[in-house]
Structure 1
Amino acid sequence: MKKILTLICCTIVLAATSCKKEYVTTAPSATTIFDTTPAFVLDTDPKNNIFGYTTTLSVPEITDYYNSHGAVLVYLDEDGTYEQLPDVYGGITYRFVYGKGTLYIDAQNADGSVPTSANKPGPLKLKIVLVP
């Protein structure tokens, strides 16, 4: 009985000492601030009920890595406070889509009505956060 107890204790000690701690360190997130007047273009597709403005920003920091492993967060500066997109500001709904090196921003009337030139988005200050 003493041999069995000794064997069990040795097995437990061996199993406990064979564990390996692994530390994972990640790179910090990168933040880019755009103070821009994007060229919003009217995009209408009555067949799919799409009426709004769209623009494309070149952001070379967005690589293929963020499509498969990371995240891209976009914030709109609203009078000194940042609101994460998608967001409704001033009766306009903003959303974004990104791809390698490119950020697409759509702006539509929040009530779904057809936009006019008076509803065209003005200058935007965007904060883009790339999370690895």
Structure 2
Amino acid sequence: MKPSGVSFVYIGNTPDMKYLLTLIMPLMLFVTACEKTEYVVPNRTVIVDLEARDWEPFDNGRTYEASIDLPEYDSYTNQQGAILIYISFDGGRNYEQIPEVYEGISYGYVVTAGSLLLEIKRLDGGVITNLPASMRIKIVLIDSSEY
């Protein structure tokens, strides 16, 4: 039984599936054969060990600073890239990202091309009496480019 009001009309031959595949396959090969030109630049990591004698007092002992030479961090990386700083108090087994507060002392940093300045201050603004005995600093330099 034919539904009323619906009719199908074919003009010419219907397309053959093999014919369609013959047209589509070369097109797919052409599209997927493009060469990728994206290059991934790996991050650079610098490890520095600091001792208590590396800290210099400022502001009557309320602030201490330690300067680290960082030639890997040039002006291009300063403008286009990024930097992450981590500290470890157990010889590098565990790292914590700064800025951070550890045992009532605030750890922060200021970075410029060629150098890193670490700062420590007590949260209550008092004089720091116990400097960190030793710590390992992990500096991760992230390269980037402007598009």
Is the shorter-chain TM-score for this pair beyond 0.5, marking a shared fold?
yes
Matches within 5 A, 1:20-99: 23-37=37-51, 39-44=54-59, 51-79=62-90, 80-99=93-112
Residue 4 of structure 1 corresponds to which residue in structure 2? none
RMSD between aligned alpha carbons? Answer: 2.4
5+ long unaligned stretches in structure 1: 1-16
1:88/1:77 Cα in 2 relative to 1: closer, same or farther (>3 Å)? same
- Output the CA distance in 2 between the equivalents of 1:109 and 1:51: 7
Q: Deviations over 1:67-106 (max 9, x none)?
A: 1110011000143211111011122110011111100000
Residue 136 of structure 2 corresponds to which residue in structure 1? 125
- Output the CA distance in 2 between the equivalents of 1:122 and 1:98: 23
Contact 1:52 1:114 (C-alpha < 8 Å) held by counterparts: no
Hey, which of these two has a bigger chunk of strand by percent?
1
**TM-score scaled to structure 1, two decimals?**
0.71
Identity %: 30
**TM-score scaled to structure 2, two decimals?**
0.64
Q: Which protein is bigger by CA-based radius of gyration?
A: 2
Contact 1:40 1:121 (C-alpha < 8 Å) held by counterparts: no
Displacement of 1:40: 1.0
5+ long unaligned stretches in structure 2: 1-30
Q: Secondary structure at the match of 2:62?
A: strand
Displacement of 1:42: 1.4
Displacement of 1:21: 8.2
